Structure 1
């Protein structure tokens, strides 16, 4: 890694430190609105804990009219721009990347111009990954059995990271609304995922990212608004 790369990582770590000094916000009843396609607008999420991950669950709700591919959740590390990526390839087709290995999950029922609930999971011990969309579960597929996701995380909404913390492509950008974003360092049990899908307040607060207690930084044209019937 060159001097520029090291400086970029140090700057990102400094931004995490400064953000950690800020007061966390409860975004219950709020949403991030990404009003237009761009290669600049994004939200940086600061995790509540930073450690090597041997399992992951990410849940969120999105509203968009795009039929093209778009990034829903981008988690990069210095070693991998796709440490854990949740990516919507097309209507009903989703992708999970773990350390640059990926699987596609098809025939999942999502709909344009309405709220869609999505959860993605991965477990290092088995390598098994799975996606739930609006209560419908995908087949279970293997992505990189063994190993973990390690290194200082760069977690970004609205863009897909082709390098650590940047190198965005507007044709992969998210346009629409995102809300109720949570991340865990474990595979959430199916009853808990079902509770999230059904909007039942149970144990649905993430311990890595918690929508009710979250640090974030907005870059570019992104608006925080009241949630629209999510």
Structure 2
């Protein structure tokens, strides 16, 4: 009996090259898909009341000695709803801008401590410019609605530290979840920016007037890293012609 012959199959270099090219293309597409987007002239529409639809905003910042958040909103809601929700592991309301069902009241939360800002002219079915500020040195918070400031009120001293979960469209009762349908946002949001310092009144006015303001260094609408979930529509803004 002749000895059994053993054949050794050599790797196909051509096939390996194709696999490598496919892998590199997949990586490039993934990187492109994850790249921040310029949302200038765009708005996020939340068309219905749910406990699922939301937008998650990404940032690498995890320590805040001060905060400014500015956004533009449009809604006809007469009930409670969240406009901006940031949670960290130790605080579900690390920084929360919350519109109450009371027509003239806006709440600001910092590390689960809140104050009410009354006397606001939050007219329905109108685009509003809203900014909220807080500084840990003084502990003072303030809201600016359409360029008009509220009284400055004490919230708390001490910084905010922890990996943040930042959500639009829902109010977080735990990090990234436990959404309540009756606190969901229905309407449109646009031009969301966040800074790790308190903007000056002049900078806030430049934001309101949509002039040459300094974009957010934590969240920047012109270079936004975000994920959508549920029925959220990214579309052209309807703020009107100039």
- Is TM (by shorter chain) over 0.5? yes
Q: Secondary structure at the match of 1:212?
A: helix
Match of 1:196 in 2: 207
Q: C-alpha displacement at 1:20, in angstroms?
A: 10
User: 1:201, CA displacement in angstroms?
Assistant: 2.1
- The whole-number CA distance in structure 1 between the counterparts of 2:186 and 2:129 is 16
* 1:63 match: 74
Q: Distance in 2 between matches of 1:20 and 1:150?
A: 30
- 213-222 or 191-200, which deviates more: 191-200
Alpha-carbon deviation of 1:51?
Answer: 2.6
Residue number in structure 1 paired with 2:17: none
Which 5+ residue runs of structure 1 have no aligned equivalent? 1-17
Q: What is the deviation of 1:19?
A: 8.9
State the TM-score, normalized to the length of structure 1: 0.88
Structure 1 partner of 2:55: 43
> Higher Cα Rg: structure 1 or 2?
2
In the superposition, the TM-score normalised over structure 2's length comes to 0.84
Residue deviations 1:9-33, cap 9 Å, x none?
A: xxxxxxxxx9998111000000000
Q: Which aligned segments of 4 or more residues in structure 1 are displaced greater than 4 angstroms?
A: 18-21
Matched-pair contact (CA < 8 Å) for 1:22–1:215: yes
The question of whether the paired residues in 2 share the 8 Å contact of 1:19 and 1:216 is answered with no
Distance 2:63 2:47 in 1: 34
Q: Alignment length, in residue pairs? A: 210
Deviations 1:48-85 (A, max 9, x none): x3131010000000000011110000000000000000
What secondary structure, in the 3-state scheme, does the structure 1 residue paired with 2:34 have?
Answer: coil
Q: Secondary structure, in 3 states, of the residue corresponding to 2:48? A: coil
Deviations 1:153-177 (A, max 9, x none): 0000000000111000010000000
Match of 2:133 among 112, 121, 141: 121
Pair 1:137 & 2:174 matched: no
